[in-house]
Structure 1
Amino acid sequence: MKQTQRIKLGLAGVVAIGALLGTTALTFSASPVWAEDQKPASEASKQKDAGQDFFTKPQSVTSNGSVTVHGAHIEYQAVSGTLIVHPKGWDDSASADDEKDKKPGAAASIFYVAYFKKGAAAENRPITFIYNGGPGSSSVWLHMGAFGPKKVVTADDAHTPAAPYSIVNNNDSLLDVSDLVFIDAPGTGYGRLTGTDKEKAFFGTDADANAFTDFIAQFLSRYGRYNSPKYLFGESYGTTRSAIVANQLADDKGIDLNGVILLSQILNYDNDIDAAQMNPSVDQPYVLSLPSYAATAWYHKRLPTQPADLKTFLQEVEHFALTDYTSALQDGNAITPEKRDAVAQKLHDYTGLPVDYIKKADLRVNGGEFEKTLLGDKGIDTGRLDSRFSGPTMDQLAQYPYYDPQSSAMSSAYIAAFNDYARNSLHYGNSPAFGNGYQEYKFFSDAIMKWDFSHKQPNTDFPIHNAVNVLPDLASAMKHNTSLKVMLNQGYFDLGTPYFQGIYEMRHLPVSYDLSKNVQIVQYESGHMVYAHQDSLAQLHDNVAKFITSTYKPTSAAK
């Protein structure tokens, strides 16, 4: 369901080489009610204007629901809607007269779905902002697969059969410990971009982070949640975004966070294994991806000798990767034949790839090549985002897979489930503001093809136009707020953002040894979407819930 990921990481490699969410109170009812700022025009002559207003003014629809989480029954109020954000530097004090002769400035209506537990005091109820990555992805995956009150049932490591799909109570929703706000990236969901140079204004690393920072500050004000414990939860490119947003919230908005929760991290794009071949002399991606290759080969039983315990096996592979393998790659063309043969044999033992193939690859096999080759003798490609999945190869002579078997296996289920849930439960998507009463929910935008990956790191005077590295941003946020806690969650079978890459990046955060103790790292026997594996989802819920409840202190009134 994230087929743009391959393109995204590929573009990141190219870049590396080339330069190398009105009022502050909520009103709910038993049936859906459109907020006053969204009241639709009833006359046909006003429908066009109302439709335009739909994307330039904040919208909201409220509904009610309940969920049972680990035996606890939770009544909640859901608010689905949009908030309007503008590019950084936009002046909200400009009068209409000042603006009437100007071209309309760029703006984004950002769609969100917020869940509020009924009867909870705001100051003692955490609120977590949740989003996926892409860049250019909606939050449907985390919403319907991980933490929303309803989830879609998908097959564990195989293609989910076509509709009808089951939408069930989510026993692992995070509503037991936190209110939740699922945010769709600009240009996705039911939100839209408007105005002059709209894509340029939002399709970029810093522009995107500015939009999310603005959205979160607006949301806290609109719904009176400034004094609530606050958390970010980002997946994939959403982790890149989180590092910047955490720092910007503190620096630009005066908002400290209690915690930043990362899922399937990529903070330094120089570590990208998909495009490593485009960056010769930088061998680190091969080192950091090797344990994930080994985990994948272990799962598919392609190792010459099958270890009984995965974690013990991976500890051995990690040690080899940082020692003998690193040494061999650093030798470059000066490596001796004996050392080359020994390392190639060891790579065969750990990955199951043929020794001759490893030698032809000069001991350097990138992500696409591994996915194509591991089960290539059977005419099968492994998944990239979750290598437990596999599927028929499109072209047995190709060097890389043409698709991601995991994405193909479950995308349809998520798309169908959310469209049904949004319209029939959230009552959003069939707005009376439109003559045809229908709006399209955009699961992805085309942002990746237009993305500006340049990034201005903290305490620098200008953007850097090479591969994105936001380790300084996260470090800055931790230094400004020394009580800020960071949690990293990873899947062993993730070839898009290999787990050892995340460990390496956390070990290299430019913070003191004492501050580094604020980082917690957890792995799961799953892939990029850790929650796609039911047992791992249950573990993820428990770990994140414990992280949230341990990183804020309730006020005395709640004790």
Structure 2
Amino acid sequence: MLAAIVTGGCFPCRADDATAGKKSADERSSPSRGLPAEVVTNHTITLNGEKLAFTARAGAVHLRDAQSDAPQADVAYVSYERAGAESLSRPIAFVFNGGPGAGSAWLGLGALSPWRLHMANALSPSAPPTIVENAESWLTFTDLVFVDPPGTGYSKIVGDSEDLRKRFFSVQGDADALAVVLRKWLTTHRRLASPKYLVGESYGSFRAVKLVHALRERESVGVTGLILISPVLDFTWLDARNLLSFAAYLPSFAAVTRGAKDRAALADVEEYAGGAYLTDLLKGVRDADALSRLSARVAQFTGLNSKIVSQLGGRVHVKTFSRERARDDQRILSAYDGEVAGFDPAPFSQDSDWEDPVLDTLRTPLGAAMSRIVTEKLEWPINDARYEILNAQVAHQWDYGRGGRVNAEAVSDLREALALDPRLKVLIVHGITDLVTPYFATKLLLDQLPAFGDGSRVQFVVLPGGHMPYVRDESRRALRDTARISVERN
């Protein structure tokens, strides 16, 4: 999800491993002791007619100050490991969502876990949180560890210092702390020798790229591969002050208008957006001929009223497209999937604000389903704690560093990682109707990367659907198959 710490160590911190002990449930879940100790359970599901046995763990890594031993944060995780597999050669993937402020249940119960939320009719806050066995689970080819950074899921900051909160809610502090969490999890569960993957969605992809450096330099942990879903790699490309952003969004607008399912159906739009459109944009609004040309083409590709597009100078913002595209029907489009529409709460007002028809409908059943998984299936004695599926306060307080959010980028980190480690491979997956992190922005950024010896090291795949393409059954299957090939080729 994308919503709108001290260098050199984990400020500094150490981690007390949360492992299953012999304490009573009441003692383990005592608020004074933070999150409960790890609980281990065994399960079996049926995938394609075959039984798959696995071990599940629900627990937390407790971060403490290395000097004072003062508690800092409890970072919760849920993991799934296939039974009977050789752990030294078995891949293991650490999974993060974004926001910042989103819990890992989006990817976990949306696509990857052994169980998932039943998506039929799930785009409703009142939809029952029905859990089904996930035929598309990634557990068939990799073990999975879902990590919730502080302020998301069940994870929480337990220190009282405001400075501590600021460090956790920052780009560098987030990467440093999570690097410690991953290293300690791997050490405790004897998985340091396993091939390691980082999977991230939206800002979680930004986080995953940053983690590669923190893991390598601070924790002596190497990463085999990155799987980035709907990534934001450079926030500049999402800001309207950058003319390139209008070109980045145009193919996704056209995908909504045409009902396109693949890039082949948008070849003419991509060619125009990366060529003549940019040329006319750079000529400026005083060039009447250029303005007329680009306004006509943009109206054609977006299906918007030509008068509105002309008034905007051919520079269409996401919110404008989302409202004007279906305004005659008194509906608004989701930025998270432009093919999904909801009712406009103020259809006759000049301006309107609305909850997103995908993000803000799916979050409720997903959060409820995660609570059911943890308490009913994994038996973690979390008691009455709420699973934080999407924490707006984290997003609002996030420190992107010097220059702020608009200048934050992870492309240079990705470039460094690929140049340094010739074994590292990257898979990037986008939804074609995603209006939050448009696929064409990433495509244009990747075009600027050298081959680093083998251009196939970075794969770029566009699927039907939006920011969470796995909401659609066919895209969830395609995402699994693409990820499996990426992991197996290593």
Which residue is equivalent to 1:17?
Answer: none
Provide the rounded CA distance (Å) in 2 between the counterparts of 1:404 and 1:81: 32
Structure 1 letter corresponding to 2:266: L
Which residue is equivalent to 2:424?
Answer: 484
Q: CA deviation at 1:185?
A: 1.7
| Cα distance, 1:474–1:269 mapped onto 2, change above 3 Å | same
| Cα distance, 1:441–1:513 mapped onto 2, change above 3 Å | closer
Provide the rounded CA distance (Å) in 1 between the counterparts of 2:193 and 2:421: 16
Provide the rounded CA distance (Å) in 2 between the counterparts of 1:419 and 1:376: 37
Give 1:379's match in structure 2, choosing from 324, 327, 330: 330
Provide the rounded CA distance (Å) in 2 between the counterparts of 1:64 and 1:298: 47
Q: CA RMSD in A?
A: 2.4
Provide the rounded CA distance (Å) in 2 between the counterparts of 1:136 and 1:382: 23
Matched, 1:327 2:292: no
> What per-residue deviation string (whole Å, max 9, x for no partner) do you get for residues 107-151 of structure 1?
121110011111111111100001110101110111111010011
Provide the rounded CA distance (Å) in 2 between the counterparts of 1:475 and 1:285: 21
Instruction: Point out the more displaced range, 441-450 or 468-477.
Output: 441-450
Which residue is equivalent to 1:441?
Answer: 387
Provide the rounded CA distance (Å) in 2 between the counterparts of 1:400 and 1:260: 39
Provide the rounded CA distance (Å) in 1 between the counterparts of 2:154 and 2:400: 25
Which residue is equivalent to 1:296?
Answer: 256
| Contact residue 422 and residue 452 of structure 2 kept, 8 A | no
Structure 2 letter corresponding to 1:142: L
Q: CA deviation at 1:160?
A: 4.0
Provide the rounded CA distance (Å) in 2 between the counterparts of 1:495 and 1:466: 17
> What per-residue deviation string (whole Å, max 9, x for no partner) do you get for residues 63-86 of structure 1?
111223344421001000100235
Which residue is equivalent to 1:303?
Answer: none
| Contact residue 17 and residue 185 of structure 2 kept, 8 A | no
Which residue is equivalent to 1:211?
Answer: 177
Percent of residue pairs bearing the same amino acid type: 27
Which residue is equivalent to 2:235?
Answer: 269
| Contact residue 369 and residue 399 of structure 1 kept, 8 A | no
Give 1:238's match in structure 2, choosing from 204, 223, 232: 204
Return the TM-score normalized by structure 1: 0.80
Give 1:69's match in structure 2, choosing from 36, 40, 47: 47
Provide the rounded CA distance (Å) in 2 between the counterparts of 1:224 and 1:547: 24
Greater CA radius of gyration, 1 or 2?
Answer: 1
Which residue is equivalent to 1:154?
Answer: 119
Provide the rounded CA distance (Å) in 1 between the counterparts of 2:248 and 2:414: 21
Give 1:168's match in structure 2, choosing from 88, 109, 132: 132
Q: CA deviation at 1:41?
A: 5.6
| Contact residue 478 and residue 515 of structure 1 kept, 8 A | no
Provide the rounded CA distance (Å) in 2 between the counterparts of 1:544 and 1:342: 41
Secondary structure of the corresponding residue to residue 479 of structure 1: helix
Provide the rounded CA distance (Å) in 1 between the counterparts of 2:233 and 2:120: 30
> What per-residue deviation string (whole Å, max 9, x for no partner) do you get for residues 144-199 of structure 1?
1101001111237x834834343111000001001100111211212210211232
Structure 2 letter corresponding to 1:320: Y
| Cα distance, 1:470–1:164 mapped onto 2, change above 3 Å | closer
Which residue is equivalent to 2:146?
Answer: 182
Q: Which runs of 5+ in 2 are unaligned?
A: 5-14
Q: CA deviation at 1:423?
A: 1.1
Secondary structure of the corresponding residue to residue 418 of structure 2: helix
Q: CA deviation at 1:23?
A: 6.8
Provide the rounded CA distance (Å) in 1 between the counterparts of 2:45 and 2:205: 28
Which residue is equivalent to 2:77?
Answer: 112
Structure 2 letter corresponding to 1:51: P
Matched, 1:531 2:453: no
Give 1:143's match in structure 2, choosing from 67, 83, 108: 108
Structure 2 letter corresponding to 1:448: A
Instruction: Point out the more displaced range, 413-422 or 376-385.
Output: 413-422
Q: CA deviation at 1:443?
A: 1.7
Q: Which runs of 5+ in 1 are unaligned?
A: 10-20, 27-33, 300-306, 432-436, 456-462, 552-559
Provide the rounded CA distance (Å) in 1 between the counterparts of 2:459 and 2:215: 22
Matched, 1:518 2:485: no
Secondary structure of the corresponding residue to residue 279 of structure 2: helix
Structure 2 letter corresponding to 1:505: L
| Contact residue 261 and residue 488 of structure 1 kept, 8 A | yes
| Cα distance, 1:170–1:41 mapped onto 2, change above 3 Å | closer
Structure 1 letter corresponding to 2:365: A
| Cα distance, 1:131–1:82 mapped onto 2, change above 3 Å | same
Provide the rounded CA distance (Å) in 2 between the counterparts of 1:23 and 1:214: 11
Q: CA deviation at 1:438?
A: 2.3
| Contact residue 336 and residue 468 of structure 2 kept, 8 A | yes
Matched, 1:470 2:403: no
Structure 2 matches for 1:38-437, cutoff 5 A? 39=24, 50-55=30-35, 59-85=37-63, 92=66, 94=67, 99=68, 104=70, 107-155=72-120, 159-160=123-124, 162-195=126-159, 196-197=161-162, 198-272=164-238, 275-276=239-240, 279=241, 282-299=242-259, 311-335=263-287, 337-396=288-347, 397-399=349-351, 401-428=353-380, 430-431=381-382, 437=383
Provide the rounded CA distance (Å) in 2 between the counterparts of 1:202 and 1:110: 11
| Cα distance, 1:449–1:345 mapped onto 2, change above 3 Å | same
Structure 2 letter corresponding to 1:441: Y
Provide the rounded CA distance (Å) in 2 between the counterparts of 1:153 and 1:365: 35
Which residue is equivalent to 2:11?
Answer: none
Secondary structure of the corresponding residue to residue 482 of structure 1: coil
Give 2:439's match in structure 1, choosing from 473, 477, 499: 499
